[in-house]
Amino acid sequence: MYDIIIRGARVLDGTGNPAFHADVAVKDGKIARVGPHFSGAERIIDAAGQVLAPGFINVHSHQDMALERDPLCACELEQGITTFVGGMCGESPAPISEKYEEAGLRAAGGGAISHESLAARRDMGAYFRFLNRPCGVNTAFLTGHGNLRAAVSGYADRKLTAAELEEMKSLLRRCMKAGALGVSFGLIYPPGSYADTDELIQVARVAAELGGVFTVHMRSENSGLIEATDEMLRVAKASGARCVISHHKATGGRLNWNKTAATLSMMQRAADEGLDIFCDQYPYTASSTGLDTNIPGPLHALGTDELVRRLTDPAGRAALRPAICGNKSSRERFSFTMIGNCRTHPEYNGRMLNDIADELGVDPYDLHCGLLAENRLNVTGIFHSMCEEDVERVMRWDRAMFGTDGASRAAGKIGHPRIYASFPRILGRYVRERRVITLENAIRKMCCLPAMVYGFHTKGLIREGMDADLVIFDPETIIDRATYAHPELDNEGISYVMVNGRIAVEDGKATGVLAGRRLLRRHD
């Protein structure tokens, strides 16, 4: 007697091969049988006319920052995601050293955490044990290079000493031996942005020694995109580590559009020469990160208190204007900027900063500084500065995977819609409507390819003996509905999601089942 039989689906097994019709049986969290019609189960799910695929793997998530307050992860489940990789962009929940605790908390995202959580975050292994509780999806972590640097030198804007570098490498080894998949670099975010190329190579070599991966938010995704890509290819070659370039894109307006033609050519040439190089992306023409990234990196070494003071003081604010606006007017400088998440003014969420400034009769630059000051730098921006041609070009690259690049918020569905709708958007808009890639290839990029890249040996395929992480959806109706103004709108077309053989989503809504597991790096 099986637990569940899924009957009559078009099975896309995750490899990119054509679909086939079959029944799939689930027993004890595993795929027990795949084949023609059979019976004998506690529950039968009629999937005629629908597609059955492996559970989607979100290769670039920040949901790890929300796990303690949101263990269900409905924002992931309800778009078909059954596994996510967190600890991205140089930022992970752990480790946080006692010596540089304040810096470590900033590097770990800056949110409020409990004393129990802080105590666990001294060590990645201790934090994994602390998190050993039920959650909605399978979770895996990288170690943030920003955390490592903050642990040994705080926010010091300088080259590390030889002793500090060795301490940081030793700390990464401990994290990976505890189960972290590798290291992530966030090279626009202090303190990781203070690292030179040699430091990145030295750290990436540790990941390579232990069979891990490094991911990277590069130093530039706009005017310096080509140079930043070249740097990462040099790091990959010198270290021997597998490299995943995070959320690959060309931002900053028309002057930078179509640069992905050059960068993808560089990456493919490197792959042809034997480098283990991949990238991920989200399917939107707007990026999102903290508004505080408008403040030049070296100034962050001053600390949050001093930056807030300067943003509040008229003289300090005036002194910062050239560094933030350059030779542009404030309206021009913030022409791409939308407010994503602002705690003190939630009514601004989903609105363009210039429009809000016009309504208030204030200078956009002053509004920007005021919001950062009153929220102690913790305001999310959404930046509409990309083009569809680049999104589609990256999506077509054979080694591109997909991610949401976000985390759920305490106040509900606010922020960039990619957090809630990336995977249905790809399948609905880019596969069915625009025919950018085939359905078979999209499922490969969501399942088998990321399982291979990150070493999830029991995920990503519909095969007997594999974990029963499964998604049932209608390829003719699946679509995203979330918008920048209304990210609360639900996706359509997903019927069921199973995590380790348990039904986590039914009729498109999370059931409350917490069947996810912690995925640790294999020591062999």
What's the rounded mean pLDDT across residues 458-471?
A: 98
169 torsion bin: left (phi>0), alpha (psi -120 to 50), beta (else): alpha
- Classify the C-alpha dihedral 204-522-422-22 as positive or negative: positive
487: pLDDT strictly greater than 80:
yes
Q: What is the mean pLDDT of the chain?
A: 95
The model's pTM is: 0.95
Q: Read off the pLDDT of residues 13-63 as tens digits, 9 standing for 90 and up.
A: 999 999 999 999 999 999 999 999 899 999 999 999 999 999 999 999 999
Q: Over pLDDT 90: what percentage of the chain?
A: 92
pLDDT digit string (tens) for 151-198?
A: 999 999 999 999 999 999 999 999 999 999 999 999 999 999 999 999
Q: What is the pLDDT of residues 284-299, one digit of tens each?
A: 999 999 999 999 888 8
Residue 360 has pLDDT above 60, yes or no: yes
Positive/negative CA dihedral, 27, 33, 37, 40: negative
Q: What structural domains does the chain harbor? A: 2-55+460-509 (2.30.40.10), 57-288+385-454 (3.20.20.140), 290-381 (no CATH)
In the chain, the percentage of residues whose pLDDT exceeds 70 is 99
pLDDT tens profile 513-523: 999 999 998 75
Cα distance between residue 406 and residue 75, in whole Å: 10
Q: pLDDT at position 411, please?
A: 61
Return all residues near 160 (Cβ < 8 A) that are at least 6 apart.
149, 152, 153, 168, 195, 199
Model confidence pLDDT, tens digit, residues 55-86: 999 999 999 999 999 999 999 999 999 999 99
pLDDT of residue 488: 85
DSSP letter at 161 equals P
